[in-house]
Structure 1
Amino acid sequence: MRRRGCLLILSLFFAVPRLFGETYSASGLVLFADRQHLSLKVSCQAIPGYMEAMVMTLSVRDSKALDGLNPGMLIDFKLEVRKDAAYAGQIHIRAYENATQEPMAARQLEILDAATSSLSRNAPVLQAGQAAPDFTFIDQERETVKLSALKGKVVAITFIYTRCPFPNFCFRASNNFGVLHRRFASRMGKDLVLLTITFDPEHDQPETLADYARTWTQDATGWHFLTGPSADVKNLCREFGVNSWQDEGLLTHGLHTVIVDRQGRVAANLEGNEYTAKQLADLAEAVMNRR
């Protein structure tokens, strides 16, 4: 009995340093970087054997570790669990790489990159902190929606076309918004508005968008599917970094989702499709809860 008691004490003795002295490889979506308080709020992916996916506020040891970090960026880092705090170290911003497995889709993005590289160099993409450009389009109910009229609410914007055949592109973007619409059902239209904008306005007229909207929800409160004049849509897409290109009957296109804060500023401009719907929802919630 005494021997078992000693073994238990020894086990606990060695377990405590392990609990508070471990380092894990981690990844997540930046929600907020606070240089003044040396902290970083991240929607973290699950770490097998340690934790589920969750939002964490982590300490950093030096403000330089936060250089270049903006909300909406995907990062890889080392999670250092110490007795006094959890620290983020060796932070690396993850460059966007297409996560889709469809060869045709991968080829399309290669064509898009080549075709729009010179255009992108001449047209800076709006980033966090900049004023979002105003626009006026019509939604699936033929109601007019003007961005500046939504000040005081957080607005999430994504860009799709209804004929997109790839599940990791427009389908995923719309599914992500479906998750937001369900998670924040009680805040839709009051604190949060979702705008899904087509970059194929010639085809995606309000009736087409109404059918598309019913794929995702039977009650689209606070969620508008927008179309407008082709030139206006194209100009808006370019400002947010969304380029599109005709290719063998399909539209090759980039992927961006934008969060606009209550003051009408860009809070985040997310590129690609590698973040999860939960991470996007965590980001929207963080912006909604800013005071």
Structure 2
Amino acid sequence: MVRWIQTLIFALLPLALASCSEKAPAPTKETVNVSTNQQFYEVKGVIKEIKADGKSAVIKHEAVTSSGTNYMPAMTMPFDVKNTNELHDLKSGDVISFRLVVAGDDAWIDQVKKLDVAPKTSELPSRASTFHIVRDVEPLNIGDPLPAYHFTNEMGQAVSTADFKGKALAFTFIFTKCPLPNFCPLMSKNFSQTQRTLLSTPNAPTNWHLLSISFDPESDTPATLQAYANRYYHDSNYWNFVSGDIVETTAIADQVGEKFGNEGGSITHNLRTVVIDTQGKVQKIFTGNQWTSDELVEEIVKAAKVN
């Protein structure tokens, strides 16, 4: 009897151990990356604006470096916080230090501290700005026609927004040196996924086109744009990267609420993504970076319908 009980216990033991292992599985590669695939940068800057919701701040910051490597030049950019207490009791003009956290497609700041002394002025963007002539344009609303704007694409070819009449046109704004993963790289990644979805979906419309408009024409030459475009596996039949005269770029940007500038050689900007229907009229303007490629696909499918 005793021997039978011992035999039964030994027979059931592997099952018990297997059951325990199922309750506590080993970490997957993805879960490990969440904690390890992060980059940290210590930065100083001056607060220019605290957003009303307390979730982000516009900061004029020094060049961001790590171990002698330049990650981002000095510029003025909005930064998100995970904890709104980080920005509590801070105001415009305060000099701060903070940690920039870059993780995958996201970036935010934490460990924000008010400083009694200013960072080195040589490390901050110059107060001098680059001035250029601008065109007096009116803001575009939903249903308004988009005027013709002229650019040069990554292949050195002339491109006009009027060329896409009869197609759904989606355009956004980027510059290739932008390093923050939730700004220009996210716009390009979303466009890449949008292209992939539309080209692989049965019965999806074919009368559509994507434009990524650079507001840094001095740096973003056709060759530079071509190299950048290749990183996102663009199909030039459906997606072009363009730059052009700064007056043209400023005008189309002003009409859709895209604000950018050159501050001491550094780009500052917000985010806008626009969908134009087959009649050349504004259908949708996405603000910020919270939209998804699925949402853009949905708008393009609607915009591609010939009225």
The alignment status of 1:108 with 2:124, answered yes or no, reads no
The alignment status of 1:225 with 2:238, answered yes or no, reads no
Cα displacement string for residues 3-29 of structure 1 (whole angstroms, at most 9, x for unaligned residues): xxxxxxxxxxxxxxxxxxxxxxxxxxx
Report the CA distance between 1:160 and its aligned residue. Answer: 0.4
Match of 2:146 in 1: 132
> What secondary structure, in the 3-state scheme, does the structure 2 residue paired with 1:168 have?
coil
Q: 1:286 to 1:235 in 2, by over 3 A?
A: same
Unaligned runs of 5+ in 2: 1-50, 62-71, 80-91, 93-128, 130-135
The Cα RMSD (Å) is 3.3
Unaligned runs of 5+ in 1: 1-94, 116-121
Contact residue 189 and residue 221 of structure 1 kept, 8 A: no
Q: 1:215 to 1:97 in 2, by over 3 A?
A: farther
Whole-Å separation in 2 of the counterparts to 1:149 and 1:218: 19
Match of 2:160 in 1: 146
Report the CA distance between 1:238 and its aligned residue. Answer: 1.2
Counterpart AA for 2:198: F
The alignment status of 1:255 with 2:258, answered yes or no, reads no
Report the CA distance between 1:126 and its aligned residue. Answer: 1.2
Percentage identity across paired residues of the two chains: 30
Q: 1:123 to 1:258 in 2, by over 3 A?
A: same
Q: Which has the larger radius of gyration?
A: 2
Q: 1:286 to 1:141 in 2, by over 3 A?
A: same
Q: Flag the structure with more relative contact order, 1 or 2, with Cα contacts below 8 A and sequence separation at least 6.
A: 1
Q: 1:96 to 1:196 in 2, by over 3 A?
A: farther
Whole-Å separation in 2 of the counterparts to 1:192 and 1:219: 12
TM-score normalized with structure 2 length: 0.54
Aligned length: 188
> What secondary structure, in the 3-state scheme, does the structure 1 residue paired with 2:241 have?
strand
Q: 1:264 to 1:218 in 2, by over 3 A?
A: closer
Counterpart AA for 1:131: P
Match of 1:246 in 2: 262
Match of 1:278 in 2: 294
Whole-Å separation in 2 of the counterparts to 1:234 and 1:216: 25
Report the CA distance between 1:280 and its aligned residue. Answer: 1.6
TM-score normalized with structure 1 length: 0.57
The one of 186, 202, 217 equivalent to 1:172 is 186
Q: Which residues of 2 match residues 1-291 of structure 1 at below 5 A? A: 108-109=77-78, 124-185=138-199, 190-217=206-233, 219-247=235-263, 249-289=265-305, 291=307
Cα displacement string for residues 64-120 of structure 1 (whole angstroms, at most 9, x for unaligned residues): xxxxxxxxxxxxxxxxxxxxxxxxxxxxxxx99798899769962389xxx9xxxxx
Structure richer in helix, relative to its length: 1
Report the CA distance between 1:285 and its aligned residue. Answer: 1.6
